[in-house]
Amino acid sequence: MEGQTPQNGTAIKEVRDDHVVPSPVRLLPPPGRLDNHEMYIVQFPKDQIYRVPPRENALIVERHRNPLKEQKVRSCCCSTRLLLTLCLILITIIAIVGITLAVLYFIFNPMGPTFSINDVMANTIGKSKTPQYEISLGVKNPNNRLGLDYENNDNVVTLLSEGIKVATGKFPALEQGHDASSKVMLELTGTNVPLPKVMDMSMNDVKTNKPVSLSLNMKLGLRVVTAGIKAWVMKSDVAQLHAVVLSFSKP
């Protein structure tokens, strides 16, 4: 025997196998609302009601409470990973370049240039003026497959006589191809120190039978050039490049 819901909204009971089963209760629509759909209250057993929410819900709520903190943690992790990646790339590039240059160095075996003094000229116009010296040099690049680039910034030239520094200057900028020879003019300025007696007499046209002994010291910064690319830097210290001058040339 089945019961039906009456029109006035009251609930009736069904009797099935000597058990009374409550029927869904039909609710009346709220005031001002048309009764287009039927509304029912569904009842669940007590043992199926969760009184403690799942743990996942708590994590979701925590994320919504602290969104900025989570973003900061993520940004810090990304920044650290990016920095480590860039460092590894940079170290790899440096290692590759270093190994390549080392291999090229042992293959080509670069050598420093050779020099020879061709002429020495002194200008002593006026007693009060500082003497000026011009020295003509021959420069030879002995490398068969490497060029040399002489950097003017690191080059220092010193002229000595009997151990006394009489003049200083710079080696001019110069680029040489492989197995090339060049002529270079050095322009040196006197240091205003008293000159050795023999040198002073020779510069002032006093006849003397003693030759003037000169030494030229040069500290040069060279860059090796291969296939148009400037590679590693070489330091060439030319110490005690000797010359014996019987008389100084005049300009």
The SS3 of residue 100 is helix
Domain extent at residue 164: 114-245
Mean pLDDT (the chain, rounded):
73
The reply to whether 46 falls in a domain is: no
pLDDT digits (tens, 9 = 90+) for 32-78: 555 555 666 766 666 555 566 666 766 776 766 666 555 555 666 67
Q: Of the candidates 46, 81, 108, which is a domain's last residue? A: 108
Q: In this structure, which amino acid lies at residue 196? A: P
pLDDT digits (tens, 9 = 90+) for 116-162: 888 888 877 655 577 888 889 999 998 888 888 887 777 889 998 88
Question: Are both 239 and 134 inside the same structural domain?
Answer: yes
Question: Are both 102 and 61 inside the same structural domain?
Answer: yes
The SS3 of residue 217 is strand
The reply to whether 152 falls in a domain is: yes
* Separation between Cα atoms, residue 123 and residue 118, nearest integer Å: 17
* Separation between Cα atoms, residue 183 and residue 104, nearest integer Å: 29
The reply to whether 151 falls in a domain is: yes
| Other CB atoms within 10 A of residue 158 CB | 17
What pLDDT does residue 12 have? 45
pLDDT digits (tens, 9 = 90+) for 4-41: 444 444 444 444 555 555 555 555 555 555 555 566 67
Listed residue (219, 243, 245) closest to 233, CA to CA: 219
Q: What is the CATH number of the domain that holds 173?
A: 2.60.40
* Separation between Cα atoms, residue 107 and residue 89, nearest integer Å: 27
Give the number of domains in the chain. 2
Question: Are both 128 and 160 inside the same structural domain?
Answer: yes
